[in-house]
């Protein structure tokens, strides 16, 4: 399962998802609670961090630095290599 979390409102995220035709859900963390728990908080916007979480809820890997143009392909490739 893939989803994104942002400080933006649900309405704003819905528009963003539709505009870019994203194949995954975007969740609103307007109270910044999730960002704080995962160390992704900052004053104005969330840090771009990707967490790979297994089916038991255990964090397998954390990506803190990424190239937005190649990040998705890199993660999918690494996950598929494990199978």
In this prediction the pTM is 0.73
DSSP-derived secondary structure letter, 67: -
Residue 60: both structure tokens together = 């397998």
**pLDDT digits over 5-25, tens only?**
989 999 999 999 999 898 889
Q: What is the pLDDT of residue 47?
A: 84
Residue range 43-64, pLDDT digits in tens: 877 788 888 888 898 998 899 8
Distance CA 57, CA 53 (A): 6
Long-range contacts of 42-45 (CB under 8 A, 24+ apart): 45/6, 45/7
What residue spans of the chain are helical by DSSP H? 10-20, 33-37, 71-82
């Amino acid at each position: 399962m893939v989803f994104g979390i942002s400080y933006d409102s649900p309405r704003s995220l819905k528009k963003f998802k539709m505009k870019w035709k994203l194949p995954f859900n975007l969740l609103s963390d307007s109270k910044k609670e999730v960002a704080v728990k995962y160390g992704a908080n900052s004053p104005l916007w969330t840090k771009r961090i990707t967490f790979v979480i297994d089916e038991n809820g255990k964090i397998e890997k954390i990506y803190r630095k990424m190239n937005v143009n190649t990040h998705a392909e890199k993660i999918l490739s690494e996950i598929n290599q494990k199978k």
